[in-house]
Structure 1
Amino acid sequence: MTSTQEDLVSSTPGLDGYLSRRLFARPEIGATAAAVVILIFFLLAAPAFRSGDSFLTVLYQSSTIGIVAIGVGLLMIGGEFDLSAGVIVTTAGLANSMFCWWFGIDLWVGALLSLALCLLIGFVNGYLVMRTGIPSFLITLGTFFVLQGANLGITKAVTGSVTSPDISQMDGYGRLGNVFSSSFEIGGVTVWGTVIWWLAFAALAVWVLQRTRTGNWVFAVGGGQDSARAVGVPVVRTKIGLFMTVSFLGWFVGMHTLYRFNTLQAGNGVGNEFLYIIAAVVGGTLLTGGYGNVIGVAIGAFIFGMTSLGIVYAGWDPNWFKAFLGVMLLLAVLVNLYVKSLADSSRRGLL
């Protein structure tokens, strides 16, 4: 801030307080403070946490949740939920591996067909929500059970077990592995490509949400569908697009999981939908829609990565992790409501 700006602030009654409220009304402020506290805590409590390799492992763990959490956070800002996001990840990998194994075709073809399937699931979720008026919680809960059952039933019927076939010898495996599960070393520590993809997706989502008309539409439909429609926002198209974004990011993580481990358990992914929602809520996204940002969601996913691995590095019973998630969620809801009230008072002060 320049000396002229400082003089202006000091000479304007209440302006410094207004600027402070504006700062603390940022959705990601609470998550940032929590991340700093948790990071310092585990640095002190878990010596193994202090190495560069451990930190990059935390980033990797955060990225596998954070990529899908970006889409879930955007959808929640738009006023909706997707409880099928966790099993979509597994559906994507199973569709790619089993289709190519059964028909003996290149994995690239299977990956594209898997992408088309996931986008179709997202479209159907959004279309049913918008055309029936049934809450997205119920629509996507139904999708969750359909996909969970189909993942297990179809995999058992095709392979005779609940595990997908090993794809490491199929055509296209090496090139797709380079795209979805590559890694490289910096200073002797391994950096997984998903960390780079996570940061890239987050940066793109920040730009879309904050700098484009589409971002304005997302906030508008989350704040109130009728009001948004009255000012010309394409509500149906925007919400369907958000559901399809969740499905696309779920497909991406499904591809990473498949090409890193070569095979998948058909029951995987159940429960991860709550981790995506927790990351978004901890990052400052309101459950009521219309408020939040992607930076906060990314920080929320980082907190998840730190906590899940920090407990292990500290040598504690990992069963306490779920209890911590519950406490963190409750605290985040309370903090978010307070931050939202600060944001509202800041806007009123500006007027």
Structure 2
Amino acid sequence: MAPVHTSTAPASDGATVPSESRGAALGNLVRRPETGALIGTLSVFVFFAIFGGSQFLSAGGTASWLNVAAELGIIAIPVGLLMISGELDLSVGSVLASSSMTLAIVSGHWGAPVGLGILLALGLGLLTGFLNGLLVTRTGVPSFVVTLATNFGLAGLTLGLSRVITGTTSVAIDPGSPAKELFGTLLANKFEVAIFWWIGVVLVVGWMLHASRYGNWILAVGGDTVSARATGIPVPKVKIALFMGSALGAALVGVIQTLLYNSAQVANGQAFVFNSIIAVVIGGVLLTGGYGSVVGVVLGTLTFAIVQQGIYYTGWNSDWASLILGILLLAAVLMNNTFRKMALSYAPKRKA
């Protein structure tokens, strides 16, 4: 058999680097879940920086999309983890609204300490997530169906109880200084303190997914549940914990919004149901599970927020915003698929 020659390229120090090594490095780069998301984020930012002008790049313009990204990101990060495990959560909108109303009713309508209202609001989120996870793991019913039912059921319960208790669907609250500063502050009258909560969530969840054994469990469960169970991974416990995390993120945003606007409404939150999924998918997470990264979800969230807010600075008709977001979602999915195929094509070949 004739010898197989490996082509090389000169390195900066005069040595040679096999071309297949360069191909492997490029393959590793495009294989990353966040590569496509990074390209998307940079593209939309440059686009709106050009067409949105100085207003988009101003402090007020930056705050407009960072605030949106922060609130959405607090929900999208745990939703992303859940999707990596192969599940969906469509109840986050109602969890947000119910937690928000819980805080407003307990501490606004009834006058209880704000701290108690916050704990009950977050506790309601954890309880809802626990029930979602328990139903999914015990019954085998798809999470899409279970959480969709929870979304409608919790929305109806929130509306009914709010009318019975307060006689209205909107409740005001005077949170007081400590709680307001911690959750509902505007920094420099522009940026929400939610940005810091978002950064905290990113750091904690990023460490958990990429640097802990639990992160390996999540990826394994999403990749192949049967194999994960066979290796001893407690699949039901992992999924229940992820559902609780998803609902807790939604409840936290409910608390932030209530203390920021000094009121709560039963209709709040439904936009987060699909917006969070859109941000996660743009960030490179597969709907089938087993693939994704926290950095990718962050970039997907930023991309979504920039597009949603950037169109207002272009002077164009904002009625087209939904169309642009729809096109962006489709383009993101196609681009992520393309990058994965490119990664396979750059995989090193075995020598004969």
Same fold judged by TM-score > 0.5? yes
Partners of 2:336 and 2:22 in 1: CA distance: 23
Aligned counterpart in structure 2 of residue 151 of structure 1, from 145, 153, 158: 158
C-alpha displacement of 1:124:
0.4
Corresponding residue for residue 65 of structure 1:
72
C-alpha displacement of 1:122:
0.2
Q: How does 1:235-250 map to 2 (within 5 A)?
A: 235-250=235-250
Corresponding residue for residue 204 of structure 2:
204
43 and 126 in structure 1: CA distance in 2 versus 1, 3 angstrom threshold: same
Partners of 1:116 and 1:231 in 2: CA distance: 33
9 and 264 in structure 1: CA distance in 2 versus 1, 3 angstrom threshold: farther
Determine if the alignment matches structure 1 residue 327 to structure 2 residue 296. no
Corresponding residue for residue 5 of structure 2:
none
Kindly provide the amino acid, as one letter, of the partner of residue 322 in structure 2.
K
Corresponding residue for residue 176 of structure 1:
179
Partners of 1:8 and 1:199 in 2: CA distance: 43
Corresponding residue for residue 111 of structure 1:
118
Report if the CA contact (8 A) 1:285-1:291 is conserved: yes
Q: How does 1:301-320 map to 2 (within 5 A)?
A: 301-320=301-320
Corresponding residue for residue 39 of structure 2:
33
Q: Could you list the per-position Cα deviations for residues 127-182 of structure 1 after superposition, in whole angstroms to 9, with x for gaps in the alignment?
A: 10000000000000000001111222221222222112x111xxx63211111112
Kindly provide the amino acid, as one letter, of the partner of residue 311 in structure 2.
I
C-alpha displacement of 1:12:
2.4
Partners of 1:287 and 1:155 in 2: CA distance: 35
Q: How does 1:1-351 map to 2 (within 5 A)?
A: 10-47=16-53, 48-164=55-171, 166-168=172-174, 173-185=176-188, 190-343=190-343
Partners of 1:292 and 1:46 in 2: CA distance: 31
C-alpha displacement of 1:100:
3.1
C-alpha displacement of 1:114:
1.5
Count of residues paired in the alignment = 342
Partners of 1:88 and 1:190 in 2: CA distance: 27
Q: Could you list the per-position Cα deviations for residues 67-110 of structure 1 after superposition, in whole angstroms to 9, with x for gaps in the alignment?
A: 10001101000100000012211111101111234543212112
Kindly provide the amino acid, as one letter, of the partner of residue 213 in structure 1.
R
Other structure's SS at 1:11 match: strand
Other structure's SS at 2:190 match: strand
More deviation, 315-324/18-27: 315-324
Corresponding residue for residue 6 of structure 2:
none
TM-score (structure 2 length as normaliser): 0.91
347 and 243 in structure 1: CA distance in 2 versus 1, 3 angstrom threshold: farther
10 and 287 in structure 1: CA distance in 2 versus 1, 3 angstrom threshold: farther
Partners of 2:15 and 2:47 in 1: CA distance: 37
Kindly provide the amino acid, as one letter, of the partner of residue 27 in structure 1.
P
Report if the CA contact (8 A) 2:20-2:348 is conserved: no
Q: Could you list the per-position Cα deviations for residues 13-66 of structure 1 after superposition, in whole angstroms to 9, with x for gaps in the alignment?
A: 411011111111111111111111111111111121121221122111111111
Partners of 1:214 and 1:176 in 2: CA distance: 32
131 and 194 in structure 1: CA distance in 2 versus 1, 3 angstrom threshold: same
295 and 349 in structure 1: CA distance in 2 versus 1, 3 angstrom threshold: farther
Report if the CA contact (8 A) 2:97-2:269 is conserved: yes
More deviation, 339-348/127-136: 339-348
Other structure's SS at 2:264 match: coil
Partners of 1:245 and 1:138 in 2: CA distance: 19
C-alpha displacement of 1:317:
1.7
Identity of aligned residues (%): 37
More deviation, 242-251/154-163: 154-163
Larger Rg: 2
Report if the CA contact (8 A) 1:180-1:252 is conserved: no
Report if the CA contact (8 A) 2:79-2:246 is conserved: yes
Partners of 1:234 and 1:307 in 2: CA distance: 39
Report if the CA contact (8 A) 2:23-2:348 is conserved: no
Partners of 1:26 and 1:285 in 2: CA distance: 11
What are structure 2's unaligned runs of at least 5 residues? 1-9
131 and 55 in structure 1: CA distance in 2 versus 1, 3 angstrom threshold: same
Report if the CA contact (8 A) 1:63-1:198 is conserved: yes
What are structure 1's unaligned runs of at least 5 residues? none
